[in-house]
């Protein structure tokens, strides 16, 4: 039998290596941007077409390459960053393996134009599938321009598994953010399909974060700084009150390199313990500077997973630093000159002011005698004669629009609670007629049936009603909008505005009216009828986060997801008090739905407690 083990050809080996290094167009963007940074560039431009599938181009004003270096850069394991194994433990550059460009050239059409400052002419190099198809002198500015076209053209199986353009563009944008935030001293520009998404001038770390994430982030940042022998920490953490349920603004950088580290993330979260709402995630932009020999960045091809020499000490330092920054923020935010006696209670401060009610007795005559005046006054609208304390308890809870729940009953005076219980026990027929529908704990609506009791979750019921209404509006595009006297202005990063532009038709069909949706500043001049102005920004955040989730293709249409997300945000919440008329209307609209039993997320809306079930509880 002949020998069967043989060496793979270089172009096949490069394609296999590309599977590790180049997973998607965002991987190419990361490698090219990091090469430009290693070349000491002061300005870098990223140009994308068709989410990187057609073109990924990076232009920098760095050192450039000679003719020989340009050719050698695309050979496997060719690098200028290291010369021995010991250099791996003193890395101060981004790319060092020498695999990236060779892997990219194996699965795409690559063109390079480069020139050093001291050279009169530059070099143009064309490569297709690891084969050099041309090399010639060319006139070009100092620096390097690398163009990667038709990614995975010779690996159709890999190209078939790429996501949609919106998902791939989002991944590219994320990589751009990570590189740009790590190097604020470099000017960056990002152009997608001939449209400029970002133009970031050189500046400070705070300016770079605000320019990328939007001006709304500026007021939410708390500075963080700590110097120790083991490492130095600087950056910003988000104020606790601005924490979000989505994990969006969480960035760790080690030696100007974006990293993912669940252990250090836990250190930050534990420092926020007791300060965040339930299921909320803190925001942070934390930069770590550690000695190069105390960190191993060579444990994963993407170099986002790293290993620290003393992780336990770093964990403790980060946790203490975040706690210290939060403590300083809390002290700085206290105004000792403020007169707290003038503060309104929390629930009053958030409620809208109501116009005073003025009642006039049209029968009042100041020239009549006192007795006559008293009798006439009793006939006026809205007036009740004074009742003795013994009769006062009988009027408790009898207002037409009031809802007496068990929770309210517990806080009644003993005499009133006793009268209420006595009325329920000794007047069953009358009690049944008056309380055949009532609210329990401001969460459930309970109605009597011939077979027992109907218990409805008011939040889920309203969510189901709104979901079907919004679906109809999205289908026929006949949503009703309430015009705003003053447009709402919201500042958002450009990629979030892009998502809203993709959903603009659907959003306008349910009642949104956009005055401006072109730049980072969004202006809204009309809202859906049931939506409050205070809920607009959280709703848009929720819609954007929902769209950014990579769900399996075909599982949900974006129309379904939009209707579901809007319904869950607009629906009546647990804790909202409802009067009898509102509860009756909610029940009528619920059972007019096509599928009243379940919400859009397949959660149960109501249950039916039969007489047999209730009898079993007394056995």
The structure tokens 């990614």 sit at: 151
Distances in Å between the Cα of 110 and the Cα atoms of 74, 100, 162, 584 are 10, 12, 20, 68
* Best CA proximity match to 540, nearest among 585, 578, 488, 587: 488
pLDDT of residue 433: 45
pLDDT of residue 52: 92
pLDDT of residue 1: 54
pLDDT of residue 241: 82
Query: Could you tell me the end-to-end alpha-carbon distance of the chain, in angstroms, rounded to an integer?
Result: 83
Please indicate whether residue 145 or residue 489 has the higher confidence score (pLDDT).
145
Cα dihedral 591/597/600/603 (nearest 10): 140
pLDDT of residue 20: 62
Domains of the chain are: 10-200 (3.30.565.10), 209-329 (3.30.230.10), 456-606 (3.30.1370.100)
Average pLDDT in the 554-581 region? 79
pTM (two decimals): 0.67
* Best CA proximity match to 45, nearest among 174, 192, 255, 212: 192
Rounded to the nearest angstrom, the gap between the alpha carbon of residue 579 and the centroid of all alpha carbons in its chain is 35
pLDDT digits (tens, 9 = 90+) for 433-460: 445 888 888 899 998 887 788 899 999 9
Q: 597 and 605 in contact (C-beta within 8 Å)?
A: yes
Report residue 387's pLDDT band, with 50, 70 and 90 as the boundaries.
very low
pLDDT of residue 427: 41
Average pLDDT in the 223-228 region? 92
pLDDT of residue 424: 42
Could you give the CA distance from residue 1 to residue 47 in angstroms, rounded to a whole number? 54
pLDDT digits (tens, 9 = 90+) for 188-197: 999 999 888 8
pLDDT digits (tens, 9 = 90+) for 288-330: 999 888 888 766 666 778 888 889 999 999 999 999 998 887 6
pLDDT of residue 332: 53
Highest-scoring range by mean pLDDT, 133-147, 352-366, 426-440, 578-592: 133-147
pLDDT digits (tens, 9 = 90+) for 264-282: 999 999 999 888 877 788 9
């Amino acid at each position: 039998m002949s020998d069967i083990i043989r060496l793979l050809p270089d172009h096949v080996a490069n394609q296999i290596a590309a599977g590790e290094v180049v997973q998607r167009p965002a991987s190419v963007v990361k490698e090219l941007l990091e090469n430009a940074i290693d070349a000491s560039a002061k300005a870098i431009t990223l140009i994308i077409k068709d989410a990187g599938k057609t073109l990924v181009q990076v232009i920098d004003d760095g050192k450039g390459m000679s003719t020989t270096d340009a050719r050698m850069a695309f050979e496997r394991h060719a690098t200028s960053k290291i010369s021995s194994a010991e250099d791996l433990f003193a890395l101060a550059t981004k790319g060092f393996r020498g695999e990236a460009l060779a892997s990219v050239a194996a699965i795409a059409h690559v063109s390079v134009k480069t020139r050093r400052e001291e050279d009169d002419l530059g070099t143009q190099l064309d490569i297709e599938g690891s084969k050099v198809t041309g090399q010639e002198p060319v006139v070009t500015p100092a620096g390097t321009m690398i163009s990667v076209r038709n990614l995975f053209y010779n690996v159709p199986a890999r190209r078939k598994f790429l996501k949609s353009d919106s998902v791939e563009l989002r991944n590219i944008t994320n990589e751009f953010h990570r590189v740009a935030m790590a190097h604020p001293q470099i000017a960056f520009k990002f152009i997608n399909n001939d449209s400029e998404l970002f133009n970031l001038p050189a500046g400070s770390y705070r300016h770079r974060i605000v320019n990328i994430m939007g001006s709304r982030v500026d007021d939410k940042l708390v500075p963080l700084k700590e110097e120790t022998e083991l490492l130095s920490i600087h950056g910003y953490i988000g104020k606790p009150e601005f924490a979000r349920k989505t994990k969006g603004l969480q960035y760790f950088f080690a030696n100007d390199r974006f990293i993912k580290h669940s252990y250090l993330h836990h250190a930050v979260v534990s420092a926020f313990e007791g300060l965040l709402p339930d299921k909320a995630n803190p925001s942070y932009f934390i930069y770590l500077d550690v000695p190069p020999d105390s960190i191993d960045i060579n444990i994963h091809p993407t170099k986002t997973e790293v290993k620290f020499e003393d992780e336990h000490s770093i964990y403790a330092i980060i946790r203490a630093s975040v706690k210290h920054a939060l403590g300083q923020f809390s002290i700085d935010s206290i105004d000792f000159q403020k007169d707290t006696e003038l503060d309104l209670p929390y629930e009053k401060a958030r409620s809208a002011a109501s116009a005073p009610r003025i009642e006039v007795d049209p029968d009042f005559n100041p020239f009549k005698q006192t007795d006559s005046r008293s009798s006439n006054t009793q006939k006026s609208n809205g007036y009740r004669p004074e009742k003795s304390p013994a009769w006062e308890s009988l009027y408790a809870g009898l207002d037409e629009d009031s809802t007496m729940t068990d929770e309210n009953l517990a806080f009644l005076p003993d005499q009133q609670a006793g009268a209420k219980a006595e009325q329920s026990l000794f007047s069953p027929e009358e009690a049944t007629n008056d309380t055949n529908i009532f609210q329990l704990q401001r969460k459930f609506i309970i109605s009597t049936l011939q077979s027992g009791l109907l218990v409805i979750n008011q939040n889920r019921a309203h969510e189901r009603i709104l979901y079907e209404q919004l679906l109809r509006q999205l289908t026929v595009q006949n949503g009703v909008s309430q015009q705003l006297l003053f447009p709402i202005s919201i500042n958002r990063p450009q990629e979030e505005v892009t998502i809203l532009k993709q959903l603009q038709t659907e959003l306008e069909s349910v009642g949104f009216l956009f005055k401006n949706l072109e730049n980072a500043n969004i202006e809204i001049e009309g809202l859906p009828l049931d939506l409050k102005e205070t809920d607009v920004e959280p709703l848009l955040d929720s819609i954007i986060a929902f769209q950014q989730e990579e769900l399996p293709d075909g599982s949900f249409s974006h129309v379904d997801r939009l209707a579901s997300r809007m319904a869950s945000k607009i629906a009546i919440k647990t804790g909202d008090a409802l009067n009898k008329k509102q509860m009756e209307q909610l029940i009528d609209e619920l059972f007019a739905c096509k599928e009243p039993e379940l919400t859009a997320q397949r959660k149960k809306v109501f249950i039916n407690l039969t007489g047999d079930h209730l009898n079993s509880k007394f056995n």
